[in-house]
Amino acid sequence: MIAGALVDQVVVVVGGTSGIGLAATRAIRDSGALGVVVTGHDTATTQQAQSVLGAGCLCITGDAREPTHAHAALRLALEAFGRFDALFHVAGGSGRSFGDGPLHEITDPGISATLALNLESVILSNRAAVRSFLDRKVAGAIVNLGSVLAESPAPKYFATHVYAAAKAGLIGFSKSIAAYYAPFGIRCNVLAPALVETLMSRRATENAEIRQYIRTKQPLDGGRIGQPEDLADAAVFLLSPLAKFITGQVLAVDGGWSVSEGQYPTA
């Protein structure tokens, strides 16, 4: 937690009711934010998050793939807290259940569903945020959650090629809007984690062979799987005025993944 980093700021977190998003929301709240609006796709999880986060955070349920979703969250922020200063887009996830995987195995539904979840939803929320900043003639910050797989593949264990394409597209999109809107005081950066222990990553985190691989692929701090809290302060920093001179950048919080080869177990 970066004390005072977000004093008097109002942040919207799209996909903030569990995992990385929930840890970031807690850090945002504890960094002095005036208010936080958090969205989630599951009613039960959203209600649970509300009880954990308390009155300074407002949690709503909806689908980040719907164009109205981010608009509703931003409108709530303005109505409840009188302002909106920053967006953290976390919503996304694996496309394996839709049919993502190695290219020769990918299904047609897997392509469209994975792109909608991991790229189209980002474009929709960012569009809503930029429109709000421009309409009110205020500066603002956007942080989008990417993945190290966009730029640092691990083909043996993490071959979901549409997901990687979506996250790479997210980087290109974020850099493009960062360049275009910088004169308006609107910043956009990307936070790129490696393997983090969340519901989405359970396939990998519960696999003994992958855990062994991670010991050398993410060698920092004893060679461990990341925790959602590992990204929280980085998110706060990029969302806050502390990063007022930073835009169009990708910050990898990856335990060394992007600079480490990783060793496969021998037979």
- Which structure tokens are listed for 69? 């979703």
The neighbour count for residue 250, using CB atoms within 10 Å, is: 18
Give Cβ neighbours of residue 147 (< 8 Å, ≥ 6 apart). Answer: 163, 164, 167, 192, 193, 194
Q: Which residue among the candidates 157, 163, 180, 181 is catalytic per the annotation? A: 163
Contact, 103 vs 161, CB < 8 A?
yes
Taking the C-alpha atoms of residue 139 and residue 161, their distance in angstroms, rounded to an integer, is: 35
163 is catalytic: yes
Taking the C-alpha atoms of residue 251 and residue 184, their distance in angstroms, rounded to an integer, is: 22
Taking the C-alpha atoms of residue 57 and residue 77, their distance in angstroms, rounded to an integer, is: 10
For residue 161, give the nearest of 177, 141, 147, 182 by alpha carbon.
Answer: 147
Report the chain's C-alpha Rg in angstroms.
18
Kind plus residue range of the DSSP H or E element containing 204: helix 202-205
**Active-site annotation, residues:** 163
